Amino acid sequence: MVKIVALVGTNSENSTNRQLLQYMKAHFANQAELELLEINHLPLFDKPADKKVPEVVRQMALTIESADGVVISTPEYDHAIPAALLNALNWLSYGIYPFVDKPVMIIGASYGTLGSSRAQAHLRQVLDAPELKARIMPSSEFLLSHSLQAFDENNELIDQDMVAQLEGLFEDFLVFMQITSQLGHAHSVNQKLAESVSWENR
Question: What value does the mean pLDDT take over residues 147-151?
Answer: 96
Question: What value does the mean pLDDT take over residues 36-47?
Answer: 95
Question: How confident is the model at residue 201, as a pLDDT?
Answer: 53
| Domains recognised in the chain with CATH numbers | 2-201 (3.40.50.360)
Residue 184 confidence class, pLDDT cut points 50, 70, 90: confident
Question: What value does the mean pLDDT take over residues 157-166?
Answer: 98
Question: What value does the mean pLDDT take over residues 126-147?
Answer: 95
| % of residues, the chain, pLDDT over 70 | 98
| % of residues, the chain, pLDDT over 90 | 84
Taking alpha carbons only, the member of 81, 172, 78 closest to residue 132 is 81
Question: What value does the mean pLDDT take over residues 137-160?
Answer: 96
Considering the entire predicted model, what is its pTM? 0.94
Question: What value does the mean pLDDT take over residues 43-65?
Answer: 94
Taking alpha carbons only, the member of 172, 106, 116 closest to residue 144 is 116
d(CA 53, CA 98): 13
Residue 188 confidence class, pLDDT cut points 50, 70, 90: confident
The answer on pLDDT for 145 being more than 90 is yes
